[in-house]
Structure 1
Amino acid sequence: MLRSNRLLLRAIEESDLPIISFWRSQPEVYEYFYEYLPISVRQQKNWYEKQLQDSSEINFVVADIKTGKAIGTVSIYHIDRRSRKAEWGRLIIGDPSARSGGKGAEIEALVLQYSFEHLNLNKLYCEVLLQNEKVVSLHKKFGFHHEGVLRQHAFKAGKYEDVVMLSMLAEEYFFNKDKGKLAEIFTRMNGNI
């Protein structure tokens, strides 16, 4: 389990599938996903059963540490153990009351910590729709580097969308963990502010 003083990242259980399906079907959530469809609980269950057998991805429920209530999900996937790289994303903060107060930043810090300190990755990368400027900006504040724009990379709502490619290397993570925005987040999430 990964935890801060407010959040817990734990394994997805079958009992979580109805709420995850509900979140995924909300327009304000799937607006920033490549898929632009609501999904059923059965479709969510099919995905869940498949990912249980897939060692190239790790999926978490994000829960409130005090109540245990699920507030979202996040994933690390396309894990390449030979090249020590992976992609992170599928971040959903499904509970609208949890979308403020820095919880997204704490989730990102926990994913970075797990990726570099537990999975021993050398590189963590992500793809973000170009129009999602808020998330691109957040990743850059954490120390992600802009690798480029994948032109017309995603077909969504009848048109092709550009996607920003961002990445962080292990050496950058360990440097940023002690300095700057990432250091501030780790201090706050461990209750030292």
Structure 2
Amino acid sequence: MEHSYNKKNKNILVRQIEKQDLELLRSWRNNPENCKYLTPIPHITEEAQKKWYTEYLKDKEQIIFAIEETEKLGRCVGSIALYNFKDSSVEVGKIMVGDPDAHGLHVALHALEAVMEVAVQHLGIKRFYLHVFKNNLPALITYKRAGFKKTSEEIKQNGEVEYRMEKDTY
């Protein structure tokens, strides 16, 4: 969905994805190392990425943000999304810090906090939830630091354990 939500938090800025971000996002999503914990998808062509972006701008069911690291790198380093809106809850995820220079700078944590603040202030969200694989330790640490608590776990078809984590805003 096209939006104008921007939020600065410490060393990051979350903002609308723009056309100039598409090639970076595509290259990161096509890198298996960046996507080992994301839903598997086929290789993304330039044409497919442009088509996705056109459709995304019309999609009222999700809000995707570009993540810029503003202090050391001064560039787009990843993305994060809000989706599955229902009543006053939303799923937060599809977090990818694709720029290896941004690793270790707490980009995901600060982006997560910023996106949740936007959702509370502008969208009336009272509960956040997410899904994370048990073996994705960097993500688990980030989510715990952001105040998420494990509420359930499920064994997926591939045998991996996936946690559902939630955070209330009140």
**Structure 2 length-normalised TM:** 0.87
CA shift for structure 1 position 151? 2.2
Matched, 1:69 2:75: yes
3-state DSSP of counterpart to 1:30:
coil
Larger radius of gyration: 1
CA shift for structure 1 position 18? 0.9
Matched, 1:148 2:152: yes
CA shift for structure 1 position 110? 0.7
Matched, 1:34 2:39: yes
Q: What is the alpha-carbon distance in structure 2 between the residues aligned to residue 142 and residue 8 of structure 1?
A: 17
CA shift for structure 1 position 38? 3.2
**What is the percentage of aligned positions where both structures have the same residue?**
24
| Residue-by-residue CA offset, 1:28-82 (whole Å, 9 max, x unaligned) | 11111121543222222222222211112111111133665211111111122xx
Q: What is the alpha-carbon distance in structure 2 between the residues aligned to residue 145 and residue 5 of structure 1?
A: 23
User: How many residues matched?
Assistant: 164
Any stretches of 5+ residues in structure 1 without a counterpart? Answer: 172-193
CA shift for structure 1 position 87? 0.6
**Structure having the larger proportion of residues in helix:** 1
Do 1:30 and 1:36's aligned partners in 2 also have CA atoms closer than 8 Å?
A: no
Q: What is the alpha-carbon distance in structure 2 between the residues aligned to residue 162 and residue 44 of structure 1?
A: 31
Do 1:26 and 1:38's aligned partners in 2 also have CA atoms closer than 8 Å?
A: no
3-state DSSP of counterpart to 1:106:
helix
Find the counterpart in structure 1 of residue 123 from structure 2: 119
Q: What is the CA RMSD across the aligned residues, in angstroms?
A: 1.8
Find the counterpart in structure 2 of residue 3 from structure 1: 8
Any stretches of 5+ residues in structure 2 without a counterpart? Answer: 1-5
Find the counterpart in structure 1 of residue 91 from structure 2: 87
**Structure 1 length-normalised TM:** 0.77
